[in-house]
Amino acid sequence: MTNHSDNTAQRAIVPPPPSAEDIAAANASAPDGPFQAKNFLARFRLDGKVAVVTGGARGLGFSMAEGLCSAGLKGVAILDVQTDLGLDAIKKLHDAYGVQAQFYKVDVRDENAVAEIMNSISAELGSIDILVNSAGIADLVHAEDYPADKFRRVIDINLNGSFVVAQACARHMISQGRGGSMIFIASMSGSIVNWPQPQSAYNASKAGVKHLMKSLSAEWAVHGIRCNAISPGYMDTALNRSYTTLFNEWKQRTPLGRLGDPDELTGAAIWLASEASAYCTGSDIIIDGGYTTL
């Protein structure tokens, strides 16, 4: 009968820890030289770069613009249709972060105006290195009652406008010859059908934004232009709070039990804009408090 009480053969022999002299010798003979500490946080810095943010006068767009400025941007261009809010936004960003800030009033559907503004940004701020494509609208209209012109307007601003701006920025990034980073603001609505609110045009437009981003990431990789998306869930904004009944239902359906703060998107925006995400392109980051996991 086997004697299980003798565990001598099963004991592992643990060597003593290496001495300081042993570590120094191993480092000196390593093929890559001595081990060096790395400053990983430095890769999140955006020093010397210029960002373009559409829909950046308020809400999610402004929050992400602020996040990028906090990481050391040289300049930021805010594109929006609301002049008063846009001018207020660039004053806040300049005063708080010392960044060069310019506001340009534009409808993102107007390709000629967008192209002219990109020329101005490049001339006035020196370059275009980062794009945050945040401009967008939404309607809550039942599909059977949706006027065709209103449906087309949502698609035109959210999807076509994203392409018009991305194309104009890409032309400058390509001519600059050092690539860039484009961040498309999609939505979890591009992956799921929201319920109970009726928003077929918005859902379709954001699904289109996601696939547009993936298509451009493949085409423009050769130019060093990375394209990624952030897909927010329900965010705690003034507009969403106005939908009192829906607001409470959205909270109940979200595993974290609350809506997101707009600032909770900025970490992902900084990462995607920076060299910390240099090997990331064609990706969609869903930030929704777990909503789409159910």
| pTM score of the predicted model | 0.89
Q: Which region, left, alpha or beta, applies to residue 164 given φ > 0 means left and ψ of -120 to 50 means alpha?
A: alpha
Give yes or no for a contact between 288 and 233, defined as CB atoms under 8 angstroms apart.
yes
Residue-wise pLDDT tens digits, 191-219: 999 989 999 999 999 999 999 999 999 99
First to last CA, the chain: 55
In whole numbers, what is the pLDDT of the chain averaged over residues?
Answer: 93
Does the pLDDT value for residue 251 go beyond 80? yes
Q: Report the relative pairing of strands 75-80 and 50-54 from DSSP bridges.
A: parallel
Residue 36 pLDDT: 85
Return the pLDDT at 8: 47
Q: Which amino acid is at 138?
A: A
* Residue 294: per-residue pLDDT: 87
Active-site residues, by number, are 187, 202, 206
* pLDDT number for residue 47: 98
Mean pLDDT within 182-190:
98
Sign of CA dihedral 154, 118, 49, 216: positive
Residue 100 scores a pLDDT above 80: yes
Instruction: Please state, in angstroms and as integers, the Cα–Cα distance from residue 36 to each residue in 25, 39, 206, 265, following that order.
Output: 15, 10, 44, 32
Helix (H, G, I), strand (E, B) or coil at 226: strand
pLDDT category of residue 1 using cuts at 50, 70 and 90:
low
- What fold characterizes domain 50-293? Rossmann fold (3.40.50)
In this predicted structure, what is the pLDDT of residue 20? 72
- The answer, yes or no, to whether residue 3 has pLDDT greater than 70, is no
Domain assignments of the chain as residue spans, ordered by start:
50-293
Q: Is the pLDDT of residue 268 over 60?
A: yes
Percentage of residues in the chain having pLDDT higher than 70: 94
How much is the average pLDDT of 27-41?
80
Share of the chain above pLDDT 90, in %: 83
